[in-house]
Structure 1
Amino acid sequence: MSGPAAAGPARRERLGLPRARGAGPLLTAALVDSLGSGLFLPYALLYFLDTTRVSLPVIGLALSAAAALALPCSALFGPLVDRLGAHRSVVLANLAQAAGFLGYLQADSAERIAAFGFLVTAGQNLFWAANGALVAQVWEPDDRRRWFGLLRAVRNLGTGVGALLSSTLAADTSPTDGRVLAAANAASFLLAAALLSHWHPHDPPAAATEPAPPAFPPPAPAPRGYRQVLADRRFAALNAATVLFVLCLLGPPLILAVYVTRSLGQPAWVAGALLAANTALVVVLQTPLTEFLRVHRSARLLRLAAGLFAVSFALFWAAAPPRGAVWTTLSLATGLACYTAGEIVCSPVLTDLVATLAPAHLRGRYFALNQTSWSLAAVVTPTLLTRLLTAGPAALWATLLTAAAIAWALTPAIEAPTARR
């Protein structure tokens, strides 16, 4: 094929975009539910302060308790995804999150905040356990990493637009505005569930996913269920590295605003501009960079990401006083660029490696156990980093540098032979 007829596929491949025919409901659902989350989540603490008599420390404790209680649920969701199917599990996860955010409209005590927060967090854990398994089931390995990159870009776009809208709609932080945003988020999950429930994903060709029948008697069956998952040494190394990579991923978005304003004495708009630039760069560069790097082995890409994170943390650390204004600005901007590059490189690779290591009949358990690593890091990171920053910038950035270095050292033990390209 040549000429204009071939221009479209060639351009799509250069941009790192997968073949998306028939996947419109999946992409629309990803945009819709991330848009709703972007609307509500930046306003969440203010919402509970405005609509309840619960104090801020108790609100934080209730939400942390909800996340901690939902953490063991991921292991239970693995068998559910394997038996119910990834497609139905994603729909169920959206419905659970919709129910949780509707419950927030009636949350007038710490106990109710924790209860409905548990429902929201458990729904999130189920979603991420099922979503990766769904992508692995529907698309072939050659297109899979593109899909992980595209879905991540779409979700960043939705979250960024939602956060921008919420900063405008909830500028006066009134209880009515908060309830509108909570209801809008619940509606976004209901709409996403409706879109996905009417979507009928195709299965990849059997020849591409199933091995040929053996010409000799098969060996005795290996242990199934979580015994087989826990016996996978590469997967254990991946989970250990995932905790460290997630710590690196969550650190700057969580702590940068406080660091820039309190430790560096910069105006709040500087932190806002840095985080907005991060979102914009991920949306624009995620798919083309994923495509450009897909010829490289997964372990090499994770080492690259760990190195970029380490450089970014060193630059953020170097911005601390008594540096001049020009040096501080340059260090922050360059550090953000390195951090964003590391984020773009590692996120699709981490998810794709789970799909690569997992046998088809155990994908739900593999993704569920890996989601536990993400959730564990998400529970630990806020407390750890805020305490480190209280001790000083050196303690904060030295710890994150150490995490990136250990993640770099773990990467050779992760990659499966079939993941090498």
Structure 2
Amino acid sequence: MPAAASLGLPNVRGRIPLLAGLAIDSFGGGCAGPLVLLFFNKVAGIPLGTAGVMLTVATLFSIAAPAVVGQVIDRVGPRNLVVAAQFAQGLAFTGFFFGRSMWLLFLCALVTTTGQRVFWSAIFSLLADVADEGERDRWFGLGGMMQAGGFALGALVAGWLLAIGGDAPFLIAMALNAVTFYLAGLLLLRLHPSHHQRTYQDSGPAPLLRKDKTFLALIGANTLLALCTMMLGVGVPVYVAEALTVPKWLIGVLIAATSVVLATGQTLVVRHTERRRRTNVMVVAGITYAVWALLMALQVHIAAGWVVPVLVLATACYAFADVLHAATNNALSAAISPTVGRGKYLSYWQYSFTFSSVLAPAFFAQLFEVHHELPWVALAALALIASLTIYVLARVAPRLSSERI
């Protein structure tokens, strides 16, 4: 067996620009993403609460982007949409670098969040287009691995920049992110996938997605699982810093360790699960997310000497669940999407992550104020509901009865 196949890697010949673009884009995101809120506050002088509201409103305004992408992706092609999103975000971060007006920064934030939605709504159709026959799952895994690796490296650079002090770290991060978006867009222009040929070789209209109850139910279940993925960045830092008596630097170590698992493990997970039903893998991911959440809730009720070991164990559970979910959820949506209109289906699938990203901050903050462990207990219940939903659908929906689905 070739080494690449044994590692779960697809054939990448002629598609290196795509992989390089994903890694470069994510490097810039890892460098600037964690610093945007602080940039608004420290450099532009906008109060932290106001800056948070600005970013939330910008995110809400971008919520229609996946639906728009779904309407045009099969005519325009996913590569063109991804390239446009990259250049738009590059312009937005150029605006961050030069702008200080609240309204200009809000406009740039709106362009950024809309560009992110367009990117995520089109990138998996692009990965499906470049994949050789039978290698779509491996391409989803490899794409995620390149993004996680780039993001982890960018986050390390962000930490180093913060040690400098002053406004310079934030300006450097904004400039780096703008440059990486432009570079990624230029690299992707060299890619020529066969989306239109694959789309138009089948005749007939695309099915009405709003009548596809099975797919809509899966979007709902995946939204609950995506909410779990958001909690590593939204909930864990607050919980560890405010509710636990452990060193604050442990937050960075836990997040970095999880990023390493995602960066190195997705193709191996695909390799070892590609003969199993994707729905079963998603069910296991949901159950493991629930175990992670319950272990997090347990932290405030155990002796101080056990907190760090249990926290490490909980993080290992999260990493295992997240690598299963990351390697499988988009492959599942692609597998049950019709050939005609697949781009539209994959675009709407991204609403799972759109809704969860909007819900996550309020979900955690409101429940955390009531009882510190309450958001984790609620999250565990939601993860189990998601697993149960997928388990039932896999057994009652004819489209999910295939051995590999």
Instruction: Please tell me the residue identity of whatever aligns with 2:304.
Output: A
1:94 paired with 2:62, answer no
Cα distance in 2 for partners of 1:377, 1:347 equals 15
Give the alignment partner of residue 403 of structure 1, picking from 382, 388, 391.
382
Q: Deviations over 1:184-212 (max 9, x none)?
A: 10110100010010122356997x9967x
Instruction: Please tell me the residue identity of whatever aligns with 1:265.
Output: T
Could you tell me whether the CA contact under 8 Å between 1:72 and 1:372 is conserved in 2?
Answer: no
Aligned residue for 1:22, secondary structure, equals coil
Give the structure 2 partner of residue 420 of structure 1: 403
Residue 160 (structure 1) shift: 0.7
Could you tell me whether the CA contact under 8 Å between 1:101 and 1:183 is conserved in 2?
Answer: yes
Percent identical among aligned pairs is 28
1:146 paired with 2:138, answer yes
Residue 140 (structure 1) shift: 4.2
Give the structure 2 partner of residue 273 of structure 1: 253
Q: Following superposition of structure 1 onto structure 2, how do residues 228-377 of structure 1 map, counting pairs within 5 Å?
A: 228-321=208-301, 323-377=302-356
TM-score by length of 2: 0.93
Instruction: Please tell me the residue identity of whatever aligns with 1:13.
Output: A
Cα distance in 1 for partners of 2:354, 2:23 equals 22
Give the number of the structure whose alpha-carbon radius of gyration is greater. 1
Instruction: Please tell me the residue identity of whatever aligns with 2:376.
Output: W
Residue 168 (structure 1) shift: 0.9
Cα distance in 2 for partners of 1:111, 1:420 equals 53
Could you tell me whether the CA contact under 8 Å between 1:308 and 1:339 is conserved in 2?
Answer: yes
Residue 118 (structure 1) shift: 1.0
Could you tell me whether the CA contact under 8 Å between 2:266 and 2:327 is conserved in 1?
Answer: no
Please give the root-mean-square deviation of Cα atoms over the aligned residues, in Å.
2.2
Cα distance in 2 for partners of 1:51, 1:238 equals 42
Q: Following superposition of structure 1 onto structure 2, how do residues 155-234 of structure 1 map, counting pairs within 5 Å?
A: 155-201=147-193, 224=205, 228-234=208-214
Residue 102 (structure 1) shift: 1.2
Worse-matched range after superposition: 62-71 or 194-203: 194-203
Give the structure 1 partner of residue 22 of structure 2: 30
Could you tell me whether the CA contact under 8 Å between 1:71 and 1:375 is conserved in 2?
Answer: yes
Cα distance in 2 for partners of 1:292, 1:325 equals 38
Cα distance in 2 for partners of 1:419, 1:95 equals 40
Q: Deviations over 1:80-116 (max 9, x none)?
A: 2121111111111111111111121243233222211
Instruction: Please tell me the residue identity of whatever aligns with 2:299.
Output: A
Residue 279 (structure 1) shift: 1.0
Give the structure 2 partner of residue 218 of structure 1: none
1:17 paired with 2:17, answer no
CA distance 1:54–1:204, change in 2 (3 Å): closer
Could you tell me whether the CA contact under 8 Å between 2:10 and 2:139 is conserved in 1?
Answer: yes
Give the alignment partner of residue 124 of structure 1, picking from 85, 92, 116.
116
Aligned length: 400
Alignment gaps of 5+ in structure 1: 1-5, 214-220
Residue 145 (structure 1) shift: 0.9
TM-score by length of 1: 0.90
Q: Deviations over 1:13-67 (max 9, x none)?
A: 2211111111110000001000011111111122111221210000000000000
Give the alignment partner of residue 73 of structure 1, picking from 65, 74, 87.
65
Residue 373 (structure 1) shift: 2.5
Give the structure 2 partner of residue 394 of structure 1: 373
Cα distance in 2 for partners of 1:280, 1:99 equals 30
Residue 361 (structure 1) shift: 3.2
CA distance 1:74–1:203, change in 2 (3 Å): closer
Alignment gaps of 5+ in structure 2: none
